[in-house]
Structure 1
């Protein structure tokens, strides 16, 4: 899309010898600090300018000043797709690379640590069943 637009602008500016090659595109992206990324996270789902958020931002430091960083904990959950294969690979040009359906079987893991980082609690793992098949021959789990 960038290359097409660049050639369109070159035509409008009467530049006849311009060709938006892949080499030009890579150098343009480098000069302009443009990169291809995957979109992830929910950062924009919170309204930081709401009255409640502004009030909370004012009250939170007052609440936290009475506690030691060793006594303030944060916990969050994440998914571990333990059977999903990577969707990108490096392969020779003449070799076909075919993928299959993505295996979305996962475990949910809760991580928790205190503000100072000194107390990292053991992971809490929530699986699909009490005894998942992937751990069939595992005698003890480290978490």
Structure 2
């Protein structure tokens, strides 16, 4: 223990497969991909991402004079999909997905 501490050595768990990646091939593929992308207009590339809004979630802290008992957390949420093109000139209206008490078939 003392030797490890003096020399900054620690036990680390080996995780993932990053050590087996061929970095030369990655660099080559990245350059080819960038050349291919250069042929396209950035206006046509769309990016979408989703996020969630937990609209009934109570705060997890409060101001009090003593400990406060917690309650079951309400996980009611709305999922929102946001979409825009690479240049930012096209921004679609957000797509909001919620949950209905009585789902109806199409």
Q: TM-score, normalised by structure 1?
A: 0.46
Matched, 1:124 2:98: no
2:30 — aligned with what?
Answer: 57
- SS for the counterpart of 2:61 is coil
Q: Structure 1's 126 and 59: CA in aligned 2 closer, same or farther, altered over 3 A?
A: farther
Count of aligned pairs: 85
- RMSD of the TM alignment (CA)? 3.3
Gaps of 5+ in 2: 1-15
Q: Which runs of 4+ in 1 moved over 4 A?
A: none
Matched, 1:84 2:50: no
* Larger RCO (CA within 8 A; separation ≥ 6): 2
1:72 — aligned with what?
Answer: 45
Q: Structure 1's 56 and 87: CA in aligned 2 closer, same or farther, altered over 3 A?
A: farther
Looking at structure 1, the residues matched to 36 and 101 of structure 2 have their Cα atoms a distance apart, in angstroms, of 39
More helix by share: 1
Looking at structure 2, the residues matched to 59 and 130 of structure 1 have their Cα atoms a distance apart, in angstroms, of 50
Shift, 1:100, TM fit: 1.2
More strand by share: 2
Looking at structure 2, the residues matched to 46 and 117 of structure 1 have their Cα atoms a distance apart, in angstroms, of 35
